[in-house]
Structure 1
Amino acid sequence: MRGKNSATVPEGIAIPGRAARGGGTWLAFLGVLAFSGSFPATVYAMEGFDPWLVAIGRAAIAGIVALVCLKAARLPLLPPRPHWRAYGLISLGVVFGFPVFSGLALDLGASTAHAAVVIGLLPAATAVCAVLRAGERPRPVFWAACVAGALAITAFTLTRGETTAAWADLLLVGALLSAAVGYTEGGRLARHTPGWQVISYALVLSLPITVPVSAVLAAVTPVAPTPAALAGFAYVGLISMFLGFFPWYAGLARGGIARAGQTQLTQPLLTLVWAWFLMGERYGAATVAAALAVLVCVAITQRART
């Protein structure tokens, strides 16, 4: 059904109903669950591999797998030419930008908890990009809950007493902006292309860069492939860089980029759970309070109609 608002939706896609938006929220959360292990896995991977190799190599691994999947599905190995610009922005944002910036920040001393500041602010940045690029218009109550959730995560993380070098914080800001652009463009394309194809095409377009650069880095940098380092590398290459985007982009398309993207407010807390489970970090009552505050903010954003 098309009303007067249908003209504001790019690509002629109808505005999703309530059931579709709810399903999109859950799909997006599955993507967040997959992404939440990225920072701990990156730390493990960098114990045996150079940070640049981890950042670029993960995209090379994912790109090769994506190429095989497209071939097995008997689909074109390149996306339609009119969409190359959008896929280029996805590649710059989530294939290169976020992995490189966040990995170098972790290498400079930013802990997984401090890096959660990026994820705490990312939903707000994604919502802004959704307005600028995808034509979405959330209500004021959405923006209030979005800002409150970002502030809750930021305040919680900063009160943990984490300090990093200025360069690490600048790199985290770069990771934030890169991911926001990549998520928005991917969500737009996923309105008419399955999410797994969106990330696959972005990765395949990047292969002429990721494969040769990874090969050179593997040859000239120290490599110590311990089981933990290999497991971390495999996680960021297959889960963070590829499989996690299947439900994530599908969720953004169905639930709305700004709206479904707010599920990522839960990612810092999920990351802390991984850090507690894998790295032995301990947390107190402040963590529980922050978790409850974030859940309330996410619930409000999901009820606010776009």
Structure 2
Amino acid sequence: MPAARTMPSTDNTTGGWINGFIGVLIFSGSLPATRVAVQDFSPVFVTVARAAIAGVLALGLLLIFKEKRPVRSQLFSLIIVAIGVVVGFPLLSALALQYVTSAHSIVFLGMLPLTTAIFGVIRAGERPRPAFWIFSITGSLLVIGFAVAQGLTASPAGDILMLLAVLVCGLGYAEGAKLSKTLGGWQVICWALVLSLPFMAPLTLLLQPASFAGVSTPAWVSLGYVALFSMLIGFIFWYRGLAQGGIAAVGQLQLLQPFFGLALAATLLHEQVSIGMLGVTVGVILCVAGSRKFAK
């Protein structure tokens, strides 16, 4: 991936935003699909099964394209990626969805751009302008304010789990984007999945339900979606986009994810989307333009 290893040009930055946008579209279906899956499967089984399925596919891709193994200095970053996005976020969000609706949990994703940007500074050395933080923090405060007003008293366990999920996910995003500049975008998520496979495959067999007779078709389809799209294909676009356009800048596209996710939750799951949810979503989306302008 030569383009990901050079200093960002105008075309490269535009490509980064396009790839990032595609990744966000794919990720938008993750929480609604997980919500459906955990109705028939346990949250832990969904976590390990999606990683195991994606890990087998990732191993196949690496073998087909005869990719070189990561060097020892890259293994620590790959472990962080695996902990953040292969295990941490899927498990914590699946556990949270036992307590809250997918529409409610999606609102928390509005904080992902801020956590990703913070870890982009810590792990990748990015330095956005001060004005960038104003827009990013404003969007996050809108989300937190809504959660306090609508959800924390209803299910503190679900909200705490989602907050932790967003934190580890931001770390995994930033670390993966940093590594993508030298290892390649799709290679990063594939190697992270392969590193996790020796643990996830046995756990999948150990934690599988005693019988699959009662598992509905929507649950199977949802498990397939989070394994193929959320765990693998989405990251191919996302990590490439972050590496091309900058972690802090392209990371602000995540502010669009609640909007797409709420639409899916309302359309597919028939969950109620309140005026407050829509208002918060619109507010954080408006922060994208300002934060994008001052990200560099």
TM-score under structure 1 length normalisation: 0.89
The one-letter code of the counterpart of 2:66 is R
- Distance in 2 between the 1:301 and 1:55 partners? 33
What does the per-residue CA deviation read over 1:110-162, in whole Å, with 9 as the maximum and x for residues that have no partner? Answer: 11122124311111111111111100000011111101111233334555557
2:221 is matched with 231
1:147 is matched with 137
Does the C-alpha gap of structure 1 residues 50 and 223 become closer, same or farther in structure 2, counting only changes over 3 Å? farther
Report matched runs for 1:82-231 at 5 Å: 82-107=73-98, 109-160=99-150, 163-218=153-208, 224-231=214-221
2:52 is matched with 60
Identity of paired residues, percent? 40
The one-letter code of the counterpart of 1:136 is E
Q: 2:127 aligns to what SS in structure 1?
A: coil
- Distance in 2 between the 1:120 and 1:305 partners? 17
- Distance in 2 between the 1:164 and 1:85 partners? 39
1:261 is the counterpart of 2:285: no
Aligned partner of 1:19 among 11, 19, 29? 11
Aligned partner of 2:72 among 62, 66, 81? 81
Does 130-139 or 189-198 show the bigger shift? 189-198
Does the C-alpha gap of structure 1 residues 162 and 228 become closer, same or farther in structure 2, counting only changes over 3 Å? farther
- Distance in 1 between the 2:102 and 2:209 partners? 29
Aligned partner of 1:295 among 252, 268, 285? 285
- Contact 2:249/2:292, CA 8 A, preserved across alignment: yes
Report matched runs for 1:274-285 at 5 Å: 274-283=264-273, 285=275
- Contact 2:103/2:271, CA 8 A, preserved across alignment: no
Any unmatched runs of 5+ in structure 2? none
Aligned partner of 2:238 among 248, 255, 260? 248
- Contact 1:49/1:224, CA 8 A, preserved across alignment: no
- Contact 1:118/1:175, CA 8 A, preserved across alignment: no
- Distance in 2 between the 1:162 and 1:230 partners? 31
Does the C-alpha gap of structure 1 residues 55 and 163 become closer, same or farther in structure 2, counting only changes over 3 Å? farther
- Distance in 2 between the 1:159 and 1:121 partners? 16
- Contact 2:48/2:200, CA 8 A, preserved across alignment: yes
TM-score under structure 2 length normalisation: 0.92
- Distance in 1 between the 2:106 and 2:147 partners? 7
The one-letter code of the counterpart of 1:204 is V
1:260 Cα deviation (Å)?
0.7
1:224 Cα deviation (Å)?
3.0
1:4 is matched with none
Does 109-118 or 94-103 show the bigger shift? 109-118
Any unmatched runs of 5+ in structure 1? 1-11
- Contact 2:108/2:143, CA 8 A, preserved across alignment: no
The one-letter code of the counterpart of 1:302 is R
**Number of equivalent positions:** 293
- Distance in 1 between the 2:202 and 2:104 partners? 32
1:245 Cα deviation (Å)?
0.2
The one-letter code of the counterpart of 1:201 is W
- Distance in 2 between the 1:291 and 1:101 partners? 22
Does the C-alpha gap of structure 1 residues 134 and 221 become closer, same or farther in structure 2, counting only changes over 3 Å? farther
